[in-house]
Structures are given as structure tokens and as C-alpha cells.
């Protein structure tokens, strides 16, 4: 029986990589197939993820994994940063380039959030520490901007 290969895509804050995981004789091994930089892009006053380049790099890494392991690849998993998001329209097309979590648009969003929901209630429901980069404050910034437009 051919060896099963499990491919993982890891998109971190500064780099991305595609890995092959192999189970052989009761031991699990990892092999890096493809590594690439992942940094923000500044456009005007904001910073964004270079999502189109990231997509290209992921596809390149997956192609390399299939080129090397072919039908031995039995699954693909993706792990990304946990706070950013991309908005899609009804046709699954990007609405815009995703903001980078370090973008300044979330400055002042704690105060806006706490006017809507008390700080203690936010913590009770989420259990996360208060950081401007959290998705809650990113979405609140987007929502506030949408209402102003």
C-alpha cells in the first residue's frame, strides 16, 4: 500500500509554507515543500494582506506537493492567522483586499464597542484579552465606516 501523505498549508504573520506529513513505521515526519514570505502591503494610509500573491504561493506549494507525491496525497489542511477575515460577495468574489491585523483602522474601537456592550459583558462572552487586532474591533471598524459611507 502506498504511503499516505497529509499536506498542510500554514499561513503565518511573516511567512507561509506548505508541508507534507508522512506516517511511516509508527513515526510521523514533516517535510517542508514550499516556503514564502508573507508581509503586509501598504496602500495609502492602510496596510493589507497581499491575498492574491498568497493564493498564488499556496497553489504553487500544492502543485509541488502533488508533483512529488501524486495520489499519495490524501488530505489538505489549512491553518491561518486567527483574527483577520476577507469579505465575499454573493458570487464568492472578494469585496476588497483584506486588511492586515496591524492596520490602524481599529484605533478608538474599544470605546465604540464599550458604548454598545459593556467591557465586562464582552469579556464574559468571548473570554479573550482586549487587543485592537481582535476580529470584533476590525468588524466594528468596518461596520462604522460602512454606515458613514
pLDDT tens by residue, 7-40 = 999 999 899 999 999 987 788 899 999 999 998 9
Total structural domains in the chain? 2
Same domain assignment for residues 68 and 111: no
On the question of pLDDT at 149 being above 60, the answer is no
Residue 114 resides in a domain: yes
Chosen domain end from 45, 79, 113: 79
Domain that holds residue 143: 104-148
What would the pLDDT profile of 46-79 be if each residue is shown by its tens digit? Answer: 999 999 999 999 999 999 999 999 999 999 999 9
pLDDT score of 147 more than 80: no
SS3 (DSSP) at 21: strand
148 pLDDT more than 90: no
Is the pLDDT confidence value at 1 over 70? no
User: What is the distance between the alpha carbons of residues 77 and 74, in angstroms, rounded to a whole number?
Assistant: 10
E strand or H helix that includes residue 76: strand 73-79
Tell me the pTM. Answer: 0.82
Amino acid at each position: 500500500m502506498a504511503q499516505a501523505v497529509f499536506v498542510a498549508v500554514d499561513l503565518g504573520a511573516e511567512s507561509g509554507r506548505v508541508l507534507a506529513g508522512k506516517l511511516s513505521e509508527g513515526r510521523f515526519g514533516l517535510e517542508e515543500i514550499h516556503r514564502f514570505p508573507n508581509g503586509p502591503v501598504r496602500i495609502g494610509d492602510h496596510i493589507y494582506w497581499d491575498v492574491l500573491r498568497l493564493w498564488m504561493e499556496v497553489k504553487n506549494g500544492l502543485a509541488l506537493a502533488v508533483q512529488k507525491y501524486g495520489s499519495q496525497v490524501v488530505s489538505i489542511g489549512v491553518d491561518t492567522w486567527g483574527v483577520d477575515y476577507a469579505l465575499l460577495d454573493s458570487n464568492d468574489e472578494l469585496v476588497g483586499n483584506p486588511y492586515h491585523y496591524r492596520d490602524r483602522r481599529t484605533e478608538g474601537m474599544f470605546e465604540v464597542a464599550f458604548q454598545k456592550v459593556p467591557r465586562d459583558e464582552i469579556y464574559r462572552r468571548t473570554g479573550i484579552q482586549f487587543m485592537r487586532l481582535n476580529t470584533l474591533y476590525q468588524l466594528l471598524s468596518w461596520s462604522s465606516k460602512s454606515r458613514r459611507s
